Amino acid sequence: MEKVLVTGAAGQLGTELTQQLTEVYGTEAVIASDINPKAKATFPYCRFVVLDVMDRERLRKCIKEENVTQVYHLAAVLSASAEKKPLLSWRVNMDSLLHLLELAREFNLNKLFWPSSIAVFGPDSPKIQTPQQAAKEPVTAYGIAKLAGERWCAYYHQQYGVDVRSLRFPGLIGYKALPGGGTTDYAVAIFHQALAGKSFRSFLRKDTRLPMMYMPDAIKASLALMQAPKDRISIRSSYNLAAMSFSPEELYQGILPYFPEFNITYEPDYRQTIADGWPQSIDDLEARRDWDWSPDYELPAMIQEILQELPKWIQHKKSDL
């Protein structure tokens, strides 16, 4: 029987992925964990434990006592937050991964999932249809940590046989959690402002095109990768992953027919520099070839669904208070 531990479960990806994992493995087989004890209320459908991923011994104790067989390691300091505290982000993003790679080796875990990012690419990488093996010279603290993490994942697989699997996520857009400190978070916050009848200030230029993905596709890709037979996994650093690309202006124009009075202004800040070093679109040929990846959502369908479902989510959250 599989026993699944999710670290950083209260984040944007973890909130939805954890729920999907309970549908796959059952409520008793999934343990959500987060450093924030208040996050327990988010997970009525499975067990929850308070867990600091920097505490290696506490991690070890949890994996041993709970007979954990799989870990989805999602705890991280995201790109925009990492630029404010680069040394802290390095310690959290790198040390926690190394803790879990060592524990995966010690306990012979069936699988370890760790998300990487398009932030591993840099200004010298091809901007359009960036290939899997493109030059990687990241210029952000987040990208540096993710690239180092990819190499450690490949190393632990090669040297010790750890079945670690990873995806280079583009910007992720969901409505079941608030933005968590990423450079692409504008694409989440803009929906909240539109529904609230407020204008929106974009911290990126109107023409800044970036690879993006709607959360259901991110969940689909994570599960497809983890459920793929081991002999189908040819990349042990991290797979390129793609769905759609758009700019703040294109997203705004897509929302405008639903809210004709909605207004946007553009006031780029330090996050613009981060975005300028990233690709505009991604070539994910290897993921499509190895484990049959294909996204379900393009921009119009995503906008329609979020504007339909987000008000329900907001009302549900208010009723819980």
What b/e string do you get for 275-291 counting C-beta neighbours within 10 Å, with b at 16 or more?
bebbbbbbbbebbeebb
Measure the CA–CA gap between 222 and 231, rounded to whole angstroms. Answer: 17
**Residues facing residue 48 across a β-bridge:** 32
Burial of 256 (0-12, 13-18, 19+ CB in 10 A): middle
Q: What is the DSSP letter of 130?
A: B
CA distance 214 to 171: 8
Known catalytic residue at 142: yes
Is residue 249 within 8 A of residue 299, CB to CB? The reply is no
Catalytic residue among 45, 72, 142, 266: 142
DSSP secondary structure code for residue 282 in this structure:
B
Up-side HSE of residue 190: CA atoms within 13 Å toward CB?
A: 27
Q: How many CB atoms lie within 10 A of CB 20?
A: 15
Q: Is 200 helix (H, G, I), strand (E, B) or coil?
A: strand
Could you give the CA distance from residue 208 to residue 269 in angstroms, rounded to a whole number?
Answer: 13
What length is written for the chain?
321
- Residues 6+ positions from 159 with CB-CB distance below 8 Å: none
- The residues that are catalytic are 142
